[in-house]
Amino acid sequence: MSTFGGRVARTHAESTPWWPARPAARSGSPNIVIVYMDDMGYSDPGCYGSEILTPHIDALASRGLLLTHYTTHPICSPARAALLTGRNAHSVGTGWLSNNHAGFPGYSGEIPLDAATLAETLRAAGYETIMTGKWHNTPTLDTVPSGPKHNWPAQRGFDTFYGFLEGETHFFFPSRLQQNNMLVPVDEYPRDYYSTDDWTDRGIQYIKELRASSPDKPFFLYIAHNAVHAPLQSKPADLARYRGRYDAGWTALREARFRRQIEMGLIPESTRLPASDPRVPRWEDTDPADRALLARHMETYAAMLDCVDQNLGKLVACLEALGELDDTIIVFSSDNGGTDAGGPTGMFNNNRRYMGLAAPPIEVERALVDELGGPRSVSLYPTAWGEMCNTPFPSFKTYTGGGGRRVSFVVSWPAGLGDRGAVRRQFVHVTDVMPTLLDLAGVEPLGEVNGKAAQPMHGASFAGVLRSADAPSPRTEQYYECWANRAYYRDGWLARSIQRRGQPIDMDNWTLHDLDTDFSESTDLRAHHPEKLAELVEAFDRAAWENLVYPLDNRDRFQKFADVSDEVRAAADRPRTFWPGTQTAHRADVLPLVDDRDFRIAVRFERAAVDQGVLWALGDPIGGMVLYIEDDQLHFHYNGFGDETSLPPTPIGAGAHEVTIEYQAHGARRGRGRLLLDRREVVGWTELSPTLSFGIFEGLDVGLDRRGPVLWSLYERRGAFPYSGSIRDVRIEPGRRAGD
């Protein structure tokens, strides 16, 4: 408690009042905006060689500077942790996705409280701190209502947070939209809702509200997009602009991007375009019957980035109208590069692949082409489009080749940086962003945070590079690791080791690249410089021990997500009861009860003759189940990641009822269910496959189907369709897990 600086006597007349000074930013402090993309490839903005229409990103580069050798951790949670702390991701517990705590220090999934975030630091310096969009830096089990909130955005320095806490969500129906620590009460989104617009509109709203309250207080706005991450979903008008633009195919368009990059002076003329990944066929070798489907995937992706660009334009226009554009530092970049996860032809419901399920026959995918990119699809593009997005580099997200590590980076500050429209080629890493922004803003790093001595940043300011083309890079080396893929950069040399997912780790399969003469990592020089390779491998090992990188883990997604404590596993075996009048139960509280196992779901309710509506719904367009009454008939629909089954409707009268779904999981992701009305079987055992699992965004609703609908035709007829009678409760009793 501060010492009182006035004088207290027996009466007011004899006393001297005193007020402690409020924390305030130094005069002239610039605003700071970070617009952060998700899974965007190096070449995707127009100013990096793309055919996608990004006039506002390009204008940002024209007002500012464009970096050609900026690198990142090649997956989302680690990159975001490094961006927000200035520290290597493993050292702040985020060596992989934050979804779960793996039981090792570098993989706890949460940023330690003694690692000061950029938001905490700027708030302490008198800034207003605002975040919209994707967080993904808290373990999923801690994002439930009962979870500890010490590592939610509002507890890590953001005065205002509006977005979602997990790694991905539906663009038309975000499953758990939060404002600070509270779930936003949404039953139905407007039919034209789209999350990319919402993140920017809210950011603009909060800036305007700040200016109405304080004309001078500087702000930090972090718009953390989930675009262009799967599911690839775009607004109809945006998608229409790209119809036919990808009919030439990925082979020709990758080569066209490469030529433009050379013509624009972004990459050296001597750069070689690496050979395509073995999984990527030449466009000419694809089945002509598939090409409309393949092109539609990339049309959707391009439309998503176009929408982000439009929203950047809205934000810039707002800043200009406020007279603050010149005094605002704007950074535009991505957490990692484009992905290979879509497979050879992409998938309409990509979460099937997440669940270890086979792709439907290609004929089924072709028949869905008109729905691809819309709210009923949860798609991802083919691997080949990811390779094109990463031009001119090989490799992808989660891997340590250039396609995963190297992304575009644009920074603008008209009042503080000259040399507008120039290119900077110095080596810079994501950990350098926080110290650079603090340096430009004149803010000192925190010595103490959350009652502890603050960990020092690993990053170094590259403000000098931004101010002078001749300034040296602030760093000469950096390690990389993701999913057992490794790399080490030092003084122009790169050693990298790429692993086969789910296979034993090959500790010795390093390649060596001289980036000063081989910008695109196209040539392996291991045999020519064995001593240089040995030097870099040793440097990686040393950095790995120092930064909590070990143990390396190359297991598949299912195995890694299964890393939970005995306490957590036991909790998933206990029955749970859910009540009406509550918000949607979190998927992490519900899905473990039905995840590839036997279960019973029973609902008790009262019904008058006219009552109808949804009794309960679990899931969304990706997959799930819904039980409802319509026109005096009881209906149950099962959506197994696109394999949909409706049980025969059953007449139901007025009175008190109990309806039970019993389910048996047989292994190999097969199962069957039956329907009981008042404990009597009314629909016998019927195959309901595949079994459900964690790849569903939405949890359980009692008495309606909020936000993302399980059954699309019911949503079109009835919307959320709240039940008009009274529901007592819904009880889920988990049973035996499937043997495999």
DSSP 91: G
Q: Per-residue pLDDT tens for 543-578?
A: 999 999 999 999 998 889 888 888 888 889 999 999
Q: Per-residue pLDDT tens for 87-146?
A: 999 999 999 999 989 999 999 999 999 999 999 999 999 999 999 999 999 999 999 999
Sign of CA dihedral 253, 257, 263, 264: positive
Query: Structure pTM?
Result: 0.97
Angle at 534 between CA 533 and CA 538, to 5 degrees: 115
pLDDT at 210: 98
Phi-psi region of 380 (alpha: psi -120 to 50; beta: other; left: phi over 0): beta
Q: Say which amino acid occupies 262.
A: I
Length of the chain: 740
Cα–Cα distance, 102 to 564 (Å, whole number): 7
pLDDT at 190: 97
**Range 235-266 burial, b when 16+ CB lie within 10 A, else e:** beebbeebeebbeebbbebbebbbebbbeeeb
Q: Per-residue pLDDT tens for 212-224?
A: 999 999 999 999 9
Mean pLDDT of 288-316: 98
Q: Per-residue pLDDT tens for 222-241?
A: 999 999 999 999 999 999 99
User: Is the Cβ–Cβ distance between 612 and 620 less than 8 Å?
Assistant: no
User: Is the Cβ–Cβ distance between 495 and 536 less than 8 Å?
Assistant: yes
Enumerate residues 6+ apart whose C-beta is below 8 A from 236. Answer: 374
Q: How many CA atoms lie within 13 A of 276 on its CB side?
A: 20
pLDDT at 147: 93
Phi-psi region of 50 (alpha: psi -120 to 50; beta: other; left: phi over 0): beta
Q: Per-residue pLDDT tens for 353-403?
A: 888 898 899 999 999 999 999 999 999 999 999 999 999 999 999 999 999
Which listed CATH number (2.60.120.200, 3.40.50.300, 3.30.420.40, 3.20.20.80) goes with 566-737? 2.60.120.200
- Percent of the chain exceeding pLDDT 90 equals 96
Mean pLDDT of 296-321: 98
Enumerate residues 6+ apart whose C-beta is below 8 A from 336. Answer: 39, 72, 73, 74, 75, 76, 79, 397, 398, 404, 405, 407
User: Is the Cβ–Cβ distance between 77 and 136 less than 8 Å?
Assistant: yes
Q: Where are the domains of the chain?
A: 31-478, 479-558, 566-737
pLDDT higher than 80, residue 280: yes
Q: Read off the pLDDT band of 692 (50, 70, 90).
A: very high
User: Is the Cβ–Cβ distance between 340 and 396 less than 8 Å?
Assistant: yes
Q: Per-residue pLDDT tens for 331-355?
A: 999 999 999 999 999 999 999 988 8
pLDDT at 1: 52
Q: Per-residue pLDDT tens for 11-42?
A: 999 999 999 988 899 999 999 999 999 999 99
DSSP 411: E
Cα–Cα distance, 177 to 171 (Å, whole number): 11
Residue bearing tokens 């620590």: 181
Enumerate residues 6+ apart whose C-beta is below 8 A from 215. Answer: none
Q: Is 646 exposed, middle or buried (0-12, 13-18, 19+ CB in 10 A)?
A: middle
Mean pLDDT of 293-308: 98
Nearest to 305 by CA among 371, 383, 241, 222: 241
Please give the CATH architecture assigned to the domain spanning 31-478.
Answer: 3-Layer(aba) Sandwich (3.40)
Q: Where are the beta strands (DSSP E) in 446-555?
A: 448-449, 452-453, 477-482, 485-490, 493-497, 510-514
pLDDT at 2: 66
Cα–Cα distance, 64 to 61 (Å, whole number): 5
Q: Is 144 exposed, middle or buried (0-12, 13-18, 19+ CB in 10 A)?
A: middle
pLDDT at 160: 98
User: Is the Cβ–Cβ distance between 498 and 485 less than 8 Å?
Assistant: yes
The region of weakest confidence among 1-10, 109-118, 181-190, 229-238 is: 1-10
pLDDT higher than 60, residue 444: yes
List the catalytic residue out of 76, 307, 318, 389. 76
Cα–Cα distance, 25 to 66 (Å, whole number): 28
76 tagged catalytic: yes
Would you tell me how many other CB atoms lie within 10 Å of the CB of residue 157? 24
E strand or H helix that includes residue 319: helix 291-321
On the question of a cis peptide bond just before residue 78, with omega within 30 degrees of 0, the verdict is no
Mean pLDDT of 264-275: 98
E strand or H helix that includes residue 560: helix 557-561
User: Is the Cβ–Cβ distance between 585 and 700 less than 8 Å?
Assistant: yes
Q: Is 670 exposed, middle or buried (0-12, 13-18, 19+ CB in 10 A)?
A: middle
List the catalytic residue out of 73, 90, 136, 225. 136
Residue bearing tokens 């050296």: 268
Mean pLDDT of 506-516: 97
Cα–Cα distance, 152 to 131 (Å, whole number): 12
Q: Say which amino acid occupies 245.
A: R
Report the relative pairing of strands 576-578 and 700-702 from DSSP bridges: unpaired
Report the relative pairing of strands 485-490 and 670-677 from DSSP bridges: unpaired
User: Is the Cβ–Cβ distance between 248 and 158 less than 8 Å?
Assistant: no
User: Is the Cβ–Cβ distance between 588 and 143 less than 8 Å?
Assistant: yes
Cα–Cα distance, 118 to 438 (Å, whole number): 8
Q: Residue 492's beta-bridge partner residues?
A: none
Domain 479-558 classification at class level: alpha beta
